[in-house]
Amino acid sequence: MAESEGMVRAVAEVIGDGLLGVDTDKGGAPILVVDRRVIQEACRLLRDGDAKYVHLSGVWGVDYLGMGLEPRFAVVYYLYSPTLRSRIALKVPLEEADPVVPSVVGIFPTANWHERETFDMYGIRFEGHPNLTRILMPDDATFYPLRKDVPLGGEEVEFTHNSGRLRRQRESEPPEVSRN
C-alpha cells in the first residue's frame, strides 16, 4: 500500500491540478481520477516510472445515466506493473455533450482495440486514434448499444417466475403462416 501511495504522490507532483481525485477499487487498487488533458502524460509517467506499469489490461467506458452521478460518462484505464505485481486505474470523467478523450495508442499499442470497442459501444471518441472505426457493430449502426438510454429489445427470457405467463401468451397468439 505504501508503494501505491508513493505512486499517487509522484503522479500528483507531475500532473498537478490534472489530478481530480483519488479512490480505490474493491481490491484496494488506487484509482486516479484525472482530467482528460493529462491522460497521456499520466499513462507515460506510470509506464516509464520506477513502478513500470507497462501492461494496459483494459479500457472501459462507463455510463452513469440514472445513477445521479455527473458527468454522465467516464473512461477507465487499468494498468498492471509486473515489477510491483500491482494494478492502478486511471479514470477520466467526460461530459455527455463532449465525450472525447485523447488516444493512448501511442503509449500503449494494445489500447487500439480497447479504444475502438469503447467507441463502438458508448460513442466515446478517442482523439488521435489511428483507426477509430466500429469494431463490433455494423458500420451503418446509428446507436451505441451500451449507453443506458438505448432501449432494450429482444425476446423476454423464460424463467420459473414468468413461465406460466409466457406459455399463456404463446398459446393465445395465432400461429405464424408460411407464405411460399
User: What pairing do the DSSP bridges indicate for beta strands 30-34 and 86-94?
Assistant: parallel
The pLDDT score that the predictor gives to residue 174 is 77
| Distance in Å from the first CA to the final CA of the chain | 70
Burial class (CB in 10 A: 0-12, 13-18, 19+), 131: exposed
Q: Which of 64-73, 146-155, 171-180 has the highest mean pLDDT?
A: 64-73
pLDDT, mean of residues 103-130: 98
Q: Are 102 and 39 in contact (CB under 8 A)?
A: yes
- Confidence check: pLDDT of 175 > 80: no
Write the CA distances from 24 to 7, 28, 55, 87, integer angstroms: 13, 5, 19, 11
Query: Which is more confident, 149 or 156?
Result: 149
What per-residue string of b and e applies to 167-178 under the rule 16 or more CB within 10 Å gives b?
eeeeeeeeeeee
Give the class (CATH, top level) of 2-150: alpha beta
The pLDDT score that the predictor gives to residue 179 is 59
d(CA 38, CA 9): 15
The pLDDT score that the predictor gives to residue 122 is 98
The pLDDT score that the predictor gives to residue 170 is 83
Domain ranges of the chain: 2-150
d(CA 46, CA 36): 16
> Could you report the per-residue pLDDT of 55-76, keeping only the tens digit for each?
999 999 999 999 999 999 999 9
Amino acid at residue number 92? V
pLDDT, mean of residues 77-86: 95
Amino acid at residue number 164? G
